[in-house]
Amino acid sequence: MNDPSEALQTVATSPWYPPLSTALLVTMLVALLLRAIVVSHSRFEWCAISAALLFLGVVGLREQWVQEGFEALGVNLACVRLMAHGCAVLGGAMLFSLGVAWAHGYRLSRPSWWRVMAFMHLPAVACIAIMAAISMPALQQNRAIEEFPSRIGLYGVVYATVPIIGAIYVGVTAARAGFSRDVAHQLNVPVGIIATVVAGLSVLDHAFRVVTAFQTSQTPPEELQTALHDRAASTDWLLMLPVGIALLSLMPAVFISLARRVAASPDEARLRELRELWLALVSAFPQIRLNRAAALSSPAEELHRTLVEVEDALLLATKWMTDEELDAETVEERFSAVSAAVDRSDEEPPLRAAVVMPWTRDEEAIYDLARRSDMTWESYYAP
């Protein structure tokens, strides 16, 4: 295996102090894994975690100790760098998927969701294959693609296209959600601002790579090493800054979830699940609320009373449901049926006598409906 060229070592390896960069990388990975373990697994959540992992992969593959591990396996530095660029391209595709999850959330059926994922990731895989073909001489000789002036411009464009499109899409989605008058969720504003900033930095990062790629193609060989050295430092900052901001924004939910798990009993956790649905129903049908003692004896008693009230409210809601709504089978259809019935109850007389539907007395079906009604970020964007 050929030794890497000096130019390749300069652009492929992080110039940061190794213990510092390793500590940052490990801290970010631990934070991300905690988020994946603790917080609800929605489509939005998994897209955010996957995108962050892929961009952290770019950071990790720039670490010298990681590169030495691949070298021991017979993978040269040029191939490791291509792998890092591949992580960035796939991260861009995941950003686009994140925007789709945010814009459409639960409204996309599972088959439609997977078609969207394929639509964005197949072009990303094609771009990686094209990048490998363009950089083949560099891969074979263990040199930087920047040392091939006739190839670096095209390589830079192919490399940056998917990440820029993905970042622009999620940035526009974030801006619309965060600054629209019709805010669908109370956390859209702060999360929208953070996502817009991170997306903007990502667009800046990859646009900078395209510009520098064309600049490199015009750089005289004797000045190339200096130019690459200067670029390497700015590359790391433009990469670490948005990833760091994104991870910091993800952590409050981790601490809140951990605190809830430690402090709450199972009954209290289930009460919290029912709260948003109960509030909506008791507002529409206040007559269903039972007389409550000043101090209930236990969370179990509170949970039992809350379930009874929710069941009674759902029974009343059936008076304003159409035949099609009564036959609702999926959680989304039932949620729509209940919402429509609540709206009609404000202005219209009942359509029928109350009907006892099996799902209105099924505790698990009620909890599914409650999770759909829950206005926490993770539940709102759940599959």
pLDDT tens digits, one per residue of 56-72: 898 899 999 999 999 99
Distance between CA 276 and CA 288 in Å, rounded?
A: 16
pLDDT at 374: 61
At 130 the pLDDT is 96
Give the residue with greater pLDDT, 262 vs 237. 237
Cα of 64 vs its chain's centroid, Å? 29
- pLDDT mean over 300-314: 83
Cα–Cα distances in angstroms (integers) from residue 12 to residues 20, 21, 79, 138, 229, in the given order: 17, 14, 10, 13, 10
Q: What is the pLDDT of residue 183?
A: 47
Confidence check: pLDDT of 259 > 60: no
The share of the chain scoring above pLDDT 90, in percent, equals 19
Structural contact between residues 101 and 44, judged by C-beta atoms closer than 8 angstroms: yes
DSSP annotation of 292 reads -
Rounded to the nearest angstrom, the gap between the alpha carbon of residue 54 and the centroid of all alpha carbons in its chain is: 12
Q: How far is it, in rounded angstroms, from Cα 325 to Cα 43?
A: 27
pLDDT digits (tens, 9 = 90+) for 146-185: 889 899 999 999 999 999 999 899 888 877 766 665 545 5
Tell me the C-alpha distance between 291 and 314, whole Å.
19
Q: Which two tokens stand for residue 345?
A: 């109850």
- Report the pLDDT value the prediction gives residue 250, as an integer from 0 to 100: 65
Cβ-in-10-Å burial (0-12, 13-18, 19+) of 9 comes to middle
Condensed to tens digits (0 to 9), the pLDDT of residues 49-106 reads: 888 889 889 889 999 999 999 999 999 999 999 999 999 999 999 988 888 887 776 5
* Of 209 and 39, more confident: 209
The dihedral built from the CA positions of residue 92, 95, 100 and 105, taken in this order, carries a sign that is positive
pLDDT at 159: 94
Closest CA to 55 of 294, 299, 241: 241
Q: What is the mean pLDDT of the chain?
A: 80
Q: What is the mean predicted confidence (pLDDT) over 266-279?
A: 76
pTM: 0.70
pLDDT band of residue 242 (cuts 50, 70, 90) is confident
Judged against a pLDDT cut of 50, whether residue 142 lies above it is answered with yes
Q: Which one of 173-182, 231-240, 255-264, 267-276 scores highest in mean pLDDT?
A: 267-276
62-92 burial, b for 16+ CB within 10 Å, e for fewer?
bbeebbeeeeeeeebbbbbbbebbbbbbbbb
In sign, the C-alpha dihedral spanning 371, 376, 380, 381 is negative
Which pLDDT score is estimated for 383?
Answer: 45
Give yes or no for a contact between 247 and 31, defined as CB atoms under 8 angstroms apart: yes
Asked if residue 131 has pLDDT above 90, the reply is yes
pLDDT reported for residue 188: 63
Task: Indicate left, alpha or beta for 310 from its phi (over 0: left) and psi (-120 to 50: alpha).
Answer: alpha
Ranges 25-34, 98-107, 227-236, 276-285: which has the least confidence: 227-236
